[in-house]
Amino acid sequence: MPASGNSILLDQNIPYEVTAWLDGFLANCMIDHAYDLGLSRFEDHEVFAFAQQRGSMIVSCHEDFADRRLFPVGRHCAIIRLRVEPTTAEVTCAALQRLFSAYDPAALRGKLVIVQQHRIRVIPE
């Protein structure tokens, strides 16, 4: 398993094509998609538990992952909540490129990150 900060789990609502693109863009990270891990029908809290057990950041479009009551900041590896439209592979890749061009994945540990069309908010521990 990669070192802390170098494992990313793409939730089921992230276009599958993003997996290969992100794997190339972040060559030092292990990138997994929920589909490949058999998590595509799991509830958010189950995906969250799996990611925490593996030490993986979660990338999701699900609004629930931004709920700090359910997933308190500082008590998880990191949650990246994408709020971009449309949720195509092209738009998703562009949003992630903006994020990871500005921030090293390891620097996001324990934080909630909201990626919007023209803004990135990092909510610290």
Whether 1 is in a domain gets the answer: no
Strand partners, 32: 9
Q: How many domains does the chain have?
A: 1
User: Given this model, what pLDDT does residue 1 score?
Assistant: 32
Whether 37 is in a domain gets the answer: yes
By residue range, what is the domain housing residue 25?
Answer: 7-123
User: Given this model, what pLDDT does residue 6 score?
Assistant: 86
Whether 54 is in a domain gets the answer: yes
Whether 2 is in a domain gets the answer: no
Number of alpha carbons in the 13 Å side-chain half-sphere of residue 28? 8
Residues of the chain with pLDDT under 50: 1-4
For residue 63, what are its two tokens?
């609004």
Whether 21 is in a domain gets the answer: yes
Whether 72 is in a domain gets the answer: yes
- 8 A C-beta contact, residue 22 and residue 10: yes
Whether 55 is in a domain gets the answer: yes
